[in-house]
Structure 1
């Protein structure tokens, strides 16, 4: 007997307010591009007319884009079509789906809408963002796509329109795992080099102003710009991770929610997790804090951002909290009992100060590696997620008889056993390959 396929649905459009939200962002960019000098040259009335004409053009362009954009589910594919002159049709196989994220920028929050983003295997960027849908429709479509991606009986039940309506109206029972205190989040970002050295920079600027008794406009502008650049990353992290929450849904998937100006809700099947990374920044160790990240196959994140190829598991927290989370995501892995062995003593020529903090080890479940002097890091790679194993030697390593073993995953990061004895490196690589085959079997 062949497997029954869910019936195909009619092509659907995005929410009617989508052109206005897309147009609003473009209009803001246009207004910002028109300089203050342009306003002085043409006058307020002509400036307003120019902005109005450009805004009308942007809205019309966005409306045409909305009329030509649609999506529907055909079998186990999500198909999206858009474009007027150059028509584009995309088919996304749902078996390649890694995670589905529901985002709500500020304008979307004010209008009750949401944006759905899909992360697929091998994706260099987010596939087919559906902007915008109602929160209810976006949540229902996310559940349906994840169910179809898992090839579960739930997928067949949710294939029809009636089942989708039921999924939309029924509340999802989730098991809360964690909620990060916003106070800890703010303090953690104050304990960064940018925040620590900013008062020194301000004091230096004040001293210069007092000693010189004059200050030019260019000097003021450059100083303000430099200070804003220093503060940008900590402020951005606070805004991104605000009200961070973790939960498990009834299907055992990890549900991550965070954000202030832009809220995000991501559902991650645990079998898509490629590795877990733990980091102990120098200034956090007085509070015994660390942060955890997940590496997810196909997760592209923001271009040029720090979220590329990874996602947050714990922005800031104590070791006991991190230990419980690691055990929940990787059952059987205890963060407190991970044993590692150091490289040979001759590796001190390459790491005169940080040798004692290098190490690697094999546990029954994961490959463990650690490194770092000021900022200490730990990587956990499940054997079943290994894609390849490499033994690499640099020129200095060849002279010292050392080599580094890389355990590559589909998430883009690799576990590293740095500067091991050459014979030990080859034996470790063989062990990793054998354990990977057994874990996948």
Structure 2
């Protein structure tokens, strides 16, 4: 929905004027957006009003309070929707919002790393979707546009990715009318079966410890002959908290499908909240491989992407939609890694262990540690119970650091860090100090050469 009236000639990036062909009417979100925001506010209101409030004021007054607060939240949502708009100006996406305090966010599309089309349960019921953008240096999602029709969200995603990948001055790609979600041009690169997903979450410490915890609690109740409601409720709450993470992983990764569409990866996943994440392969900073302890008997591993824009320190995995393969065997992991990083084979990376004196710092995991320089990537292995492998293309290395702690100095050891725009990178732990400086110099040389040739 476009704003009425002409659009003023906003300046383009860097203050340069934008030609008339690049100026477009400012668009509004879908008219049902206030209803969805109001429904979410209603849930928050009901959760915020405790049962003690219900017992004090009575059901009628309680229901009136809920209706009044929900109505107020809906009115605010309508006002916010009326004053929220977006449009593309040159190579920027601009989002306007606010009534008393106007705010304009301008997002240069050169910094765009990934675009997600997210459909929470209410959005699925109403045929809407939310568009989320991930940009370089962003600690959180930028400019979430909630909500758009699925067709509009899909078309806008394709347009933003096209602008982000186009060189300045290059003519735009021909636009194609879209009436629904864009279907990938090729069959899925890989599909994770829901059975494997369920079994993988049963092979977690939480699932293994749950029967032991229940047995302990029941034994305590039987020995003390105390089956009070509060004790039972507390136990069930604790058990639910333990199971929450595996259950959320199953819901988030349900029907996981991975497509490769030209130069992008497209990930489909989710049950209650579906996600379609599109990541340009040129923006991938690193690939992480993980072998959890309980998965090794089945030969399973997990792959993750590191994309600039996702906060590596984000504690909630739901806010870091960087899954590449939630569970799969070695052959599948090799195949997907080769698609993301051509020429890289997990089992053939030249990894060497640190010197024997590093056992004073890592007595149990010294033999597991490894680092090496392949033709196109820097690889680092770590972890005793949970094995991890970080693979960083040379072209994505932003800086190289050599770090020595007091004990490392005494043992003539050092750690080499290869930092990326995503923040995590890779760290070769406890290398011989001479080797560490030589490794850092070689990483710097290869990174500069890769950026020039790329």
The TM-score range, normalised by the shorter chain, is over 0.9
CA distance in 2, matches of 1:54, 1:388: 51
Following superposition, the deviation at residue 171 of structure 1 comes to 5.2
**Aligned mate of 1:330, from 341, 348, 352:** 341
8 Å CA contact 1:392, 1:405 repeated in 2: yes
TM-score of the two chains, using structure 1 as the length reference? 0.95
Which secondary structure state, in structure 2, belongs to the residue aligned with residue 356 of structure 1? coil
CA deviations over 1:3-60 (Å, ceiling 9, x no partner):
9885211011000000000011011100111111222222222211111111111110
The corresponding residue for 2:131 is 116
**CA contact under 8 A between 2:338 and 2:344: conserved in structure 1?**
yes
2: distance between equivalents of 1:358 and 1:339? 12
Counterpart position of 2:14: none
Deviating more after overlay: 200-209 vs 135-144: 200-209
Corresponding residue for 1:144? 159
**1:413 is paired with a residue of what secondary structure?**
coil
1:176 to 173, 188, 198: 188
CA deviation map 1:219-275 (0-9, x unaligned): 2222112111110111111111111110011x3200011011100001100010000
Match of 1:80 in 2: 95
The structure 1 residue matched to 2:375, chosen from 364, 376, 380, is: 364
Are 2:25 and 1:13 equivalent residues in the alignment? no
Task: Tell me which residue corresponds to 1:291.
Answer: 302
**Matched-pair contact (CA < 8 Å) for 1:342–1:360:** yes
TM superposition shift of 1:424? 0.4
Contact 1:5–1:75, Cα closer than 8 Å, also in 2: no
- Residue 239 (structure 2) pairs with residue 231 (structure 1): no
Q: CA deviation at 1:300?
A: 3.8
SS in 1 for 2:188: strand
Cα distance in 2 for partners of 1:172, 1:416 equals 36
Deviations 1:315-348 (A, max 9, x none): 0000000000001100010112112111111111
Q: How does 1:350-429 map to 2 (within 5 A)?
A: 350-429=361-440
* Residue-by-residue CA offset, 1:291-320 (whole Å, 9 max, x unaligned): 000000112489531356660111000000
The separation in 2 between residues aligned to 1:290 and 1:108, in whole angstroms, is 33
Question: 2:313 & 2:230 partners in 1: Cα distance?
Answer: 33
Confirm or deny: 8 A CA contact 2:117 2:132 kept in the other structure. Answer: yes
Q: Secondary structure at the match of 2:45?
A: helix
Alpha carbons of 1:171 and 1:413: their partners in 2 closer, same or farther (altered >3 Å)?
Answer: closer
User: Any conservation in 2 of the 1:301–1:310 contact (CA below 8 Å)?
Assistant: no
Give 1:10-409 correspondences, 5 Å limit: 10-151=25-166, 156-158=172-174, 163=175, 165=177, 172-249=184-261, 251-300=262-311, 304-306=315-317, 311-409=322-420
How far does residue 109 in structure 1 lie from its aligned partner after superposition? Answer: 0.3
Q: Secondary structure at the match of 1:176?
A: coil
**3-state DSSP class of the match of 2:322?**
strand
Residue 205 of structure 1, CA deviation: 1.2
Judged with a 3 Å threshold, the aligned counterparts in structure 2 of structure 1 residues 78 and 164 are, in CA distance, closer, same or farther, namely farther
Q: In structure 2, what is the Cα distance between the partners aligned to 1:215 and 1:170?
A: 56
Instruction: Note the aligned Cα RMSD (angstroms).
Output: 2.0
Structure 2 distance, partners of 1:112, 1:166, is: 15
- For residues 353-405 of structure 1, give each alpha carbon's deviation from its aligned partner in whole angstroms, at most 9, with x where no partner exists: 11110110001010011011111111100000000000000111001000000
Cα distance in 1 for partners of 2:220, 2:428 equals 49
Contact 2:155/2:178 (CA < 8 Å) preserved in 1? no
Q: Is the 8 A contact 1:301 1:307 kept in 2?
A: no
Structure 2 Cα separation of the partners of residues 301 and 71 of structure 1: 28
Structure 1 residues 212 and 156: CA distance shift in structure 2, 3 A: same
Contact 1:144/1:164 (8 A) holds in 2: no
Distance 2:20 2:305 in 1: 33
The secondary structure found in structure 2 opposite 1:331 is coil
Contact 2:413 2:430 in 1 (8 A): yes
